[in-house]
Amino acid sequence: MLRSSPLLRSIKKNRLIYVMIAPGMLYFFCFKYLPMFGLIIAFKDYQPFLGVWGSPWAGFKHFEYFFSHPDFWMLFRNTFILAFYNLVFFFPLPIIVALMLNELRSNLYKRFIQSMIYVPHFVSWVVVVGMAYIFLTTEGGIVNELLVSLGFQKINFLLSKEWFRPLIVSEIIWKEVGWGTIIFLAALAGVDQQLYEAARVDGAGRFRQLWHVTLPAIRSTIVILLILRLGQFLDTGFEQIYLMLNPMNREVGEVFDTYVYTNGIQQGKFSYTTAVGLFKSVVGMALVIGTNYLVKKLGEEGVY
């Protein structure tokens, strides 16, 4: 009976596909699902020498402390503003760049541009922040030397509260926009060329073809990636922000990720910071469910 089950027949028939997806499934199981077991310490006063099960229950004490802590609204404000900036300024750029690349007729030039804009993705955040320091420091930085040569005063970009968020967003754009075009270029490659031919017959120019053929063809891809992006809305990134933080800009730069590191790893408040991380994950899940429900009401497919 088991040998003739539809599931086993499907696995046998598509065994090579299952072998290919096995590493990805193993990765998610080991690094995404197994760690969920540790969320239980958010409701305990975790003590390493007692273990997870031996530590006493604390209920919602850590959540109550976090929500009533003076730092909560500062963290929420900083994280929300950075996430909003990334959504408004970064998310549309890969779409725009992919559309621009799609309009290039020279394949050689197109591949060259793609290769050049992919490279920053492979540069570590340590190197990116190091480059920012070299360019923006007041002690011999190229940008400040240029400002002085033009008759302006030096600007202390690295210690300024006003410049912290623009610098964070600019670094993300430089590093990740090119890599973000890959999915959109793949979606554009699947657009039926006959649609463009029909549009040209009807007298549509390049812009009209872009507006009425290209964008509708990749709309579902844009919607799905937007939903997934909102699921990571509060994930502003730890490494980049931690490297850019200093006592002068911490008031506008401290976010949930850096707060969890400083309190959880450096100060050993494991239960408390687990509660903070769980709160952030719940918000992300709520955003995914809510956005998916909304886009399905508007006629799109959604994620599920």
Q: What is the pLDDT of residues 226-244, one digit of tens each?
A: 998 888 888 888 899 999 9
Which residues pair with residue 44 across a beta bridge?
Answer: 57
Tell which residue, 33, 30, 31, 45, has the closest CA to residue 274. 45
pLDDT above 60 for 158 = yes
pLDDT above 70 for 4 = no
- DSSP SS3 for 27: helix
Q: How confident is the model at residue 2 (pLDDT cuts 50, 70, 90)?
A: very low
Task: Please say whether the beta carbons of 43 and 59 come within 8 A.
Answer: yes
Report pLDDT digits (tens) over 91-100.
Answer: 999 999 999 9
pLDDT above 90 for 11 = no
The predicted pLDDT at position 1 comes to 46
- DSSP SS3 for 57: strand
Class of domain 71-297: mainly alpha
Q: Which two tokens stand for residue 10?
A: 């499907």
